[in-house]
Amino acid sequence: MLARATPLVIDVDAGIDDAFALLYACASPRARLIGVSTVAGNVDLASATRNTSAVLALARRAEVPVWPGCAAPMLRAQNDARLFHGPSGLGYAELPEPAAKPSPMHAIDAILAAASAEPGALTLVATGPLTNIAAALLREPALPRLLGRLVLMGGAYREGGNVTPAAEFNIWHDPEAARIVFRAFAADGAAPLVAVGLDVTRQAQLRPADLENLARRCSGLPHAPALLRFLDDSSRCYFETMERLTGARVFTMHDPLAVAAAIDPSPIVTQRVAVDVETTGALTSGMTVADWRGVWGRPPNAHVAIEVEAPRFVADFLDAMERLARG
């Protein structure tokens, strides 16, 4: 399996769903996790980096390097999403201080080195704002030709946003970076850019009953107590916020679905389309504008996810958590 596993670098802002995405990647025999880079977004950079190392330790993957990256958007003030992710970024979960220290290598250097080491093979997964990816592109414009794929969680292509009526958080947080990224992958010879946005992630929901069933499945497994406690304590914060805002206790699996698109895209249907990002609109800053009718006449630069077999994805995620609990 390892010979056929997808080499991954994951770029995270280490909130709750990023943590679930990391656990998913660590548990999947279809993924070969080379390293994790961190960026400011859901929480500040220091918190994102600490959370990443702690989650990797929980998954018994402390050997995976963690590369800190950009501490603020390219042109804008730093915001966060602690409303959903709690003060630490991991809800109510308390993980031990990780023994492993972050790598001294900057995320930009690490991403470029990993892409150059396996040209045409590496899948880069971005589950936070695209600041690190844009900065890497400014350093090395050939990056889209070095990658095998870029999979990003971000945008809302036929639906409204989640931080404004028009914009999804990751894109809204640093729209200038997002515009650089989408435009760079329009170049000849660029690897596919797969955009996993709110159109599909809102269908991929974890519910308290799913975690209760997982607990029963994992009863007696050697690594279950710490893992199940983390899943329960972190998700409970998210469940409570969603119940307060929408009336439903659901956990939208934004970032794990992006990892799924990287390691097994078969549950996801995409459509090629030209996408650009609004950076100046007073009401629409951060909006991902998809030209579904070909009005611009531009060639497609993104494979936008439009459908997902959500039950199949959730079942695969839960199977992965059982593997982690089993060790």
Name the average pLDDT for the chain.
Answer: 96
User: For residue 58, which phi and psi values (nearest 5 degrees)?
Assistant: -60, -40
Give the residue numbers marked as catalytic: 254
Checking if the pLDDT of 52 tops 90, the result is: yes
Q: How many CB atoms lie within 10 A of CB 128?
A: 32
Is the full-model pTM beyond 0.85?
yes
For residue range 35-50, list pLDDT tens digits in order. 999 999 999 999 999 9
For residue range 266-305, list pLDDT tens digits in order. 999 999 999 999 999 999 999 999 999 999 999 999 999 9
For residue range 164-189, list pLDDT tens digits in order. 999 999 999 999 999 999 999 999 99
For residue range 303-315, list pLDDT tens digits in order. 999 999 999 999 9
Checking if the pLDDT of 1 tops 70, the result is: no
Cα separation, 123 vs 237, whole angstroms: 31
Per-residue tokens: 112 = 């470029």
Residue 29: helix, strand or coil by DSSP? coil
Cα separation, 157 vs 155, whole angstroms: 6
**In percent, how much of the chain has pLDDT > 90?**
95
Checking if the pLDDT of 2 tops 90, the result is: no
Q: How many CB atoms lie within 10 A of CB 282?
A: 5
Closest CA to 325 of 191, 235, 186, 230: 230
Q: Confirm if 135 and 143 have CB atoms less than 8 A apart.
A: no
Per-residue tokens: 129 = 């704002």
For residue range 221-272, list pLDDT tens digits in order. 999 999 999 999 999 999 999 999 999 999 999 999 999 999 999 999 999 9
> In sequence order, what DSSP letters do the residues of 73-89 get, joined into one string?
-SSS-----HHHHTTTS
Cα separation, 154 vs 131, whole angstroms: 13
Checking if the pLDDT of 162 tops 90, the result is: yes
DSSP character at residue 98: P
Q: Confirm if 14 and 47 have CB atoms less than 8 A apart.
A: yes
